[in-house]
């Protein structure tokens, strides 16, 4: 047996329309009293919000209610609203009421009367219901004619899941968001598609930092740009997308490049510089290869994220900058933290939302749709639409999806490969000739890279473990190998420093070359004795 519940209506008293003491008041529509005049609507309690000026009106309405609906209990609730047209003031007052009111959903149905009050009040009511602070449906009343004091009413349920058409629209919009994040590429990889769905939710609901992890060429920068476009179209931000590769931030200029500097901050600072962080204000700052940032820059970045402000180099005037950070890396930042090369507090700040982009070898089912995408992109750029002959596409896909295709550069390799075939093709079709030549070209490129990598790794393996070498980027491996070779040929650390820094040492006031070599080796947890042992 279904339990009987009472009906409780909550709303503002109509400080103008609910007034009246003459007999003709019963001949005109009064919003509060009209709710008690309908045979099909039984109101057990009316909770009327009012300010201090309308206390007597509440008493008068209570007396009128006894004549038409004696079973209805009328309760006044005083609220302090200084300006009914001020959103902050109104929302604060209604929020305080909702939090202090004791809702008994087990025994009562709640209806929120939205006829009376300002438009600002109605918007605030909607927001409170949508946020589930208020367990109520809406009841809207309206007049129908001068001689019909009861008017009419309608109950509105804001549970949008009840409306199939609206639900379908939201689902369609969400699907469009997913496609936008994938650049309209019809990907088939289940894990990747599930990740994109999560990214869409985060992009449209959160402004916390996002960390995108993955090997070089998997599309970290591309995904960051798609997130920016999605948020901009949803009016979540108004600023720019600033794309920075942290591997290019070297030496003393790194700090001023990121945070700006004041005029005269250092030799050569003939004018003030804004810096990338300020340029990203109200937008998105994408720091690719964030693991390359020095510890000093990491500390400044953390402060800027937490305080939304920072001091440019050489300035004592704080600069405000509110941006969302998206960071990319192909390093294991947890290992970098353990090695002392990355700040643990910054890692914790970045780790709210972490997404791992799989390599192309782990998404072989997505190679074909990406080929179609690259051909379309080539057509736009070069005004030349090309397609594969069927046998040529079959042969290329068979190779591309096989174990022989290492795809060391991931999607960058695929983009370059399709671009080469499209450029060299005669006519409007890419044939077996272009495919066979391209397969040979890719094998040669990958074989050269593998041989270089093997040579470098074999030398480094004498000093570092295989696990340590695997954690070092190819760029760093090549550079480290060169430094080690110089160190091993040098008589001392100072001698090695003079060879390694022969150009830059002439431009420095101090020339502590030994210290520079020592600090460089320490980045890889190495010492002079390790290298020359």
pLDDT band, very low/low/confident/very high, at 508 (cuts 50, 70, 90): low
Of 113, 126, 124, nearest in space to 17 by CA: 113
Torsion, Cα of 170, 172, 178, 183 (10° steps): -140
State the pLDDT at residue 166: 56
Give phi and psi for 388, each to the nearest 5: -90, 145
pLDDT band, very low/low/confident/very high, at 264 (cuts 50, 70, 90): confident
Q: In the chain, what are the domains?
A: 4-159 (3.40.50.10770), 171-354 (3.40.50.300), 359-455 (1.10.8.60), 464-529 (no CATH)
Q: Reply yes or no on whether the pLDDT at 163 is more than 60.
A: no
Q: Reply yes or no on whether the pLDDT at 397 is more than 70.
A: yes
Residue spans of beta strands (DSSP E) within 22-126: 45-50, 73-78, 108-113
> Which H helix or E strand runs over 328?
strand 324-329
pLDDT band, very low/low/confident/very high, at 245 (cuts 50, 70, 90): very high
Torsion, Cα of 92, 97, 99, 100 (10° steps): 140
**What distance in Å separates the CA atoms of residue 524 and residue 121, rounded to the nearest whole number?**
61
Share of the chain above pLDDT 70, in %: 91
Of 376, 365, 448, 369, nearest in space to 419 by CA: 376
Contact criterion met (CB below 8 Å) for 241 and 286 = yes
- The string of pLDDT tens digits covering residues 322-333 is 999 999 999 999
> Of the given ranges (56-70, 201-215, 386-400, 479-493), which has the lowest mean pLDDT?
479-493
Of 488, 484, 492, nearest in space to 513 by CA: 492
Calculate the average pLDDT of the chain. 87
Q: Reply yes or no on whether the pLDDT at 458 is more than 70.
A: no
Q: How many CA atoms lie within 13 A of 57 on its CB side?
A: 21
State the pLDDT at residue 268: 75
Give phi and psi for 437, each to the nearest 5: -65, -40
Q: Reply yes or no on whether the pLDDT at 457 is more than 60.
A: no
State the pLDDT at residue 118: 67
State the pLDDT at residue 516: 87
User: Bigger pLDDT: 434 or 180?
Assistant: 434
Contact criterion met (CB below 8 Å) for 282 and 241 = no
User: CB under 8 Å to 107, separation ≥6 — which residues?
Assistant: 3, 5, 6
Average pLDDT over residues 488-511: 78
The single residue listed with the structure tokens 């709303």 is 11
Average pLDDT over residues 76-81: 89
pLDDT band, very low/low/confident/very high, at 258 (cuts 50, 70, 90): very high
Give strand pairing partners of 305: none
User: CB under 8 Å to 444, separation ≥6 — which residues?
Assistant: none
Contact criterion met (CB below 8 Å) for 30 and 65 = no
For residue 183, the tally of other CB atoms under 10 A from its CB is 16
Residue spans of beta strands (DSSP E) within 160-300: 210-213, 241-245, 284-288
State the pLDDT at residue 322: 95
**What distance in Å separates the CA atoms of residue 55 and residue 41, rounded to the nearest whole number?**
26
> Which H helix or E strand runs over 488?
helix 474-489
Q: Reply yes or no on whether the pLDDT at 171 is more than 90.
A: no
Q: Is 173 helix (H, G, I), strand (E, B) or coil?
A: helix
State the pLDDT at residue 460: 74
> Of the given ranges (42-56, 182-196, 227-241, 415-429), which has the lowest mean pLDDT?
182-196
Give strand pairing partners of 320: 309
> Of the given ranges (63-77, 120-134, 382-396), which has the lowest mean pLDDT?
120-134
Q: Which two tokens stand for residue 88?
A: 């902050």
Please give the model's pTM, rounded to 2 decimal places.
0.61
């Amino acid at each position: 047996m279904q339990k009987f519940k009472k009906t409780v209506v909550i709303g503002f008293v109509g400080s103008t329309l609910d007034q009246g003491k003459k007999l003709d008041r019963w001949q005109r529509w009064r919003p509060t009293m009209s709710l008690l005049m309908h045979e099909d609507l039984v109101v057990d309690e009316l909770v009327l919000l009012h300010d201090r000026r309308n206390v007597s009106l509440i008493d008068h309405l209570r007396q009128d209610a006894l004549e038409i609906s004696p079973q209805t209990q009328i309760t006044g609730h005083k609220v302090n609203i200084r300006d009914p047209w001020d959103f902050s003031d109104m929302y604060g007052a209604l929020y305080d009421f909702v939090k202090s009111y004791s809702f008994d959903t087990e025994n009562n149905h709640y209806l929120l009367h939205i006829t009376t009050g300002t438009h600002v009040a109605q918007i605030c009511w909607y927001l409170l219901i949508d946020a589930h602070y208020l367990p109520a449906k809406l009841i809207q009343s309206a007049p129908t004619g001068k001689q019909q004091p009861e008017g009419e009413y309608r109950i509105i349920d804001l549970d949008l899941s009840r409306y199939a058409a609206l639900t379908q629209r939201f689902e369609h919009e969400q699907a469009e968001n997913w496609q936008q994040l994938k650049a309209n590429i019809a990907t088939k990889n289940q894990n990747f598609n599930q990740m994109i769905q999560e990214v869409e939710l985060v992009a449209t609901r959160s402004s916390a930092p996002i960390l995108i992890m993955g090997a070089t060429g998997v599309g970290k920068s591309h995904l960051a740009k798609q997130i920016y476009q999605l948020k901009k179209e949803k009016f979540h931000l108004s600023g720019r997308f600033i794309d920075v590769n942290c591997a290019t931030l070297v030496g003393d200029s790194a700090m001023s490049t990121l945070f700006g500097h004041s005029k005269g901050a250092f030799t050569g600072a003939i004018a003030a510089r804004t810096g990338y962080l300020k340029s990203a204000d109200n937008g998105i700052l994408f720091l690719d290869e964030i693991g390359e940032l020095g510890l000093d820059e990491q500390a400044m970045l953390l402060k800027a994220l937490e305080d939304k402000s920072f001091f440019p180099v050489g300035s004592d005037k704080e600069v405000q900058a509110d941006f969302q950070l998206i960071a990319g890396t192909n390093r294991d930042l947890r290992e970098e933290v353990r090695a002392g090369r990355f700040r643990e507090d910054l890692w914790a700040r970045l780790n709210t939302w972490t997404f791992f982009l799989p390599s192309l070898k782990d998404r072989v089912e997505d190679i074909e749709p990406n080929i179609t995408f690259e051909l379309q992109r080539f057509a736009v750029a070069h005004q030349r639409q090309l397609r594969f002959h069927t046998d040529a596409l079959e042969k290329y896909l068979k190779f591309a999806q096989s174990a022989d295709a290492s795809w060391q550069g991931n999607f960058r390799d695929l983009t370059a490969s399709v671009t080469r075939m499209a450029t060299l093709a005669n006519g409007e079709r890419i044939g077996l000739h272009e495919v066979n030549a391209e397969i040979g070209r890719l094998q040669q490129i990958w074989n050269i890279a593998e041989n270089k990598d093997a040579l470098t790794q074999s030398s480094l393996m004498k000093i570092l473990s295989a696990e340590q070498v695997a954690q070092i980027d190819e760029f760093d491996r090549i550079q480290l190998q060169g430094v080690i070779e110089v160190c091993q040929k040098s008589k001392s650390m100072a001698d090695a420093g003079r060879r390694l820094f022969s150009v830059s040492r002439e431009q420095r006031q101090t020339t502590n070359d030994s210290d520079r070599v020592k600090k460089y080796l320490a980045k890889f947890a190495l010492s002079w004795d390790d290298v020359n042992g």
